[in-house]
């Protein structure tokens, strides 16, 4: 599903460079729930954003379903993000003057809405427990409810891959449990591949793939498959 090889990403910082990723190689199989964990500043978000083609690496390649993101033109990357990827961010990123249903439909606004899409959005909101909140605007929703709208928005295009950066970072722990329950249920039902950055290891189960990053490098020892075999994960050194 996702093949990352020898990924490097440097950012210019004043006179010098910050090496956010220093040769990350990993593989996330289709349909898996993968977590990226590690200390603050270790490169977790950088790796996630590169998987979503939100940025380009300094060197190395990322293939998703066989397509090399790094070889794509700008237009191809835009289409990849629009059609294939569901993003969930810590801060929900909902549009204030749109209702829950309209927020879910945002990915389709440039192409136009159909009655089918509208009922699909309503269906997804029911799936995440918001059937009674369809016409609410973000300020009329709790944080957990807003994040559930964001999850429905990420899923409305039936993405092959869902990328989430600290999706429960702004929520209390009970609401966090609820968000993960929804993510796992949707993943089980749709066989979606999920990659989630988290600080909170409480949500990780033994079946999950764990990518542990430190100082821009993957610590291979942690990236174990459930049967105990090392996943195809290694740092470049």
Taking CB under 5 A as the rule, does residue 42 contact Mg ion? Answer: no
- Please tell me the distance from the alpha carbon of residue 51 to that of residue 197, in angstroms, as a whole number: 12
**Residue (159 or 216) nearer to ligand ATP, CB:** 216
Name residues contacting Mg ion, limited to 63-92 (CB under 5 A): none
Which member of 41, 113, 142, 158 binds ligand ATP (CB under 6 A)? 41
Binding mask 176-205 for Mg ion (x = CB under 5 A): ------------------------------
Taking CB under 5 A as the rule, does residue 25 contact Mg ion? Answer: no
Rounded to a whole number of angstroms, the minimum distance from the CB of residue 154 to ligand ATP is: 19
Rounded to a whole number of angstroms, the minimum distance from the CB of residue 137 to Mg ion is: 28
- Dihedral of the alpha carbons of 56, 91, 187, 142, in degrees to the nearest 10: -170
Element (H, E) at 6: strand 2-13
* Helices 173-190, 143-155: inter-axial angle, 10-degree rounding: 20
Element (H, E) at 16: strand 16-28
- CA geometry: angle at 34 spanning 30 and 40, to 5°? 145
Name residues contacting ligand ATP, limited to 20-39 (CB under 6 A): 20, 38
- Joined tokens for residue 224: 């174990």
Taking CB under 6 A as the rule, does residue 13 contact ligand ATP? Answer: yes
Taking CB under 5 A as the rule, does residue 147 contact Mg ion? Answer: no
Q: Which does 29 bind (CB under 5 to 8 A by kind): Mg ion, ligand ATP, none?
A: none
- Joined tokens for residue 173: 């722990």
**Residue (11 or 67) nearer to ligand ATP, CB:** 11
Which ranges constitute the DSSP H helices of 28-172? 44-51, 74-84, 100-104, 115-127, 143-155
Q: Which does 42 bind (CB under 5 to 8 A by kind): Mg ion, ligand ATP, none?
A: ligand ATP
Binding site for ligand ATP (CB under 6 A): 11, 13, 18, 20, 38, 40-46
């Amino acid at each position: 599903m996702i093949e990352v090889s020898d990924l490097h990403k440097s950012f210019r910082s004043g006179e010098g460079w910050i090496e956010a990723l220093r040769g990350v190689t990993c593989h996330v199989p289709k349909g898996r729930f993968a977590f990226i964990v590690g200390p603050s500043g270790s490169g977790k978000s950088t790796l996630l954003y590169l998987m979503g083609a939100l940025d380009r690496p300094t060197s190395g390649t990322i293939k998703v379903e066989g397509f090399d993101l790094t070889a794509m033109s700008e237009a191809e990357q835009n289409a990849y993000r629009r059609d294939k990827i569901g993003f969930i961010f810590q801060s929900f990123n909902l549009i204030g003057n749109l209702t829950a249903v309209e927020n879910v439909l945002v990915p389709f606004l440039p192409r136009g809405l159909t009655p089918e899409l509208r009922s699909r959005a309503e269906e997804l909101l029911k799936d995440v427990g918001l059937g009674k909140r369809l016409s609410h605007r973000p300020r009329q929703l709790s944080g957990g409810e807003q994040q559930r709208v964001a999850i429905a928005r990420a899923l409305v295009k039936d993405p092959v891959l869902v990328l989430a950066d600290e999706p429960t970072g702004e929520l209390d722990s009970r609401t966090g449990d609820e968000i993960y329950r929804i993510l796992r249920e949707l993943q089980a039902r749709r066989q979606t591949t999920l990659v989630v950055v988290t600080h909170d290891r409480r949500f990780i189960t033994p079946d999950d793939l764990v990518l542990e990053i430190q100082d821009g490098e993957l610590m291979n020892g942690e990236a174990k498959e459930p049967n105990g075999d090392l996943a195809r994960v290694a740092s470049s050194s």
